[in-house]
Structure 1
Amino acid sequence: VTLANWVAKTANLWQDGLDVEPGQRVAVLLPPHWQTAAVLLGAWAVGATVTETLPASAVATDEGRLAEVLDEDGAPAVLGLSLHPLVARLPRPWPGVTDFADALLYGDEFVAYTPPDPAAVALEAGSLMLTAAGLVDAAAAFVTQLELSATDRLLVDVDLARDAGPVAWLLAPLAAGASIVLCRNADPAALPRRAESERVTVTLGLHVDGVRAAGG
């Protein structure tokens, strides 16, 4: 299943399973991860406004924050992720929580009931607010700044990616047509071998001898 398939499945889950509508706030409380990419892109496909804070109409989070989210007033629609690489279900069921693994039940194509408005706010991150069109422009600017191309395989430090935000770690590489390799708790001694095995051509937030640093 490709990322495009997962985005379509997740968008269908947001729209039909959790009743998310254009303009609604969707809090994505997740670390950088390929499933987070599907959650973000699926929410934007519906036309939602992605945020990193509560309150929100819907929330996507991992098990570590489910109790916190469920204690929120207003009972948002909640999507829970195990973040297991093979999309295993949550270790135990949570009342009122839709398991991300349910996305497998949804279709591989997505059509929004209401096409997203390019001028609508798509991302709120602190004081930063970007429209859907603004996301496209910001991603293109990062492609230039990071000097990315379609032949690149970008090794990204997860901690830096979390701080930099989804435009830098997700949308810019996608806009360039590059591949993304997320690296958590990187062991500097093991990085050269990791970079070689992953055929990395450029890094973001990590140093590997002989490999170009993005924007460097």
Structure 2
Amino acid sequence: MGGYRDALVWSDVARLARKGRDVVLVSSDKRAFAGRDGSLSQALSAEIADASGSVELVPEFGPWLLAALPDGSDDLVQAVVDAQDQELYDYLVASDVQSDLGPEVVDLGFAKSPLDVSMDEVEWGGTLTRISTVAGPDGLYVAEYDLDFSIALSGTFAPWDVRDDAWVTRSREELGRVILEGELQMVLRITVLFGGDVSFSIEEESWRRADGVSSGLDVYRPEWNQLQTPLLDDSGHFW
């Protein structure tokens, strides 16, 4: 073995192997850990002969990692990206984070202010599309993704004609108002930080309609928003 630092490294490696860990020791210093054939020296192998784990000596980490990947990738950067995508996808499928996601009323793109809106179901369609990736220091990655969602909703509107919107599948009139129901396809843009103290963290960034319609009007609340004009005239009739 080499010097004092090499001895400290080997001490940690051997301890992990005795705890049942399978350790990959990356070192190109053949004098420190390797035997004549380039594998772990006989003397060091003997020290962990009774260990429940194992130690594999490799001169470079990149080629070893690519060879160990199940998809047989030959691009380390792409392999990292693919692993991140899979980790995020598995998390979204297994967790209940979807129950906390949902657009604001203005994101729904209504051309007329609704009197009331109910989003009965917000369902992820299972598509995860990476839009951009920025590599930072210390193994950090910031990535943007688009997720497809179907929003089952109903809205109550004043009696102007809003029934031609593409999302509407059912409509009825009730007490002088129009109640519309249907499903709206939307896209959620999220930002994900990979690395750091946790494997990744997610921030909800923005919603948009999948059909390209831009953001619209909020629920009609003139008592809260002075920019919204009253619907009724002084006699109590709709303008």
Q: Tell me the TM-score normalised to structure 2 length.
A: 0.18
Q: Tell me the TM-score normalised to structure 1 length.
A: 0.20
Larger RCO of the pair (alpha carbons < 8 Å, separation 6+): 1
Work out which of the two has the higher radius of gyration on C-alpha atoms and give 1 or 2.
2
Determine which structure has the larger strand proportion and give its number: 2
Determine which structure has the larger helix proportion and give its number: 1
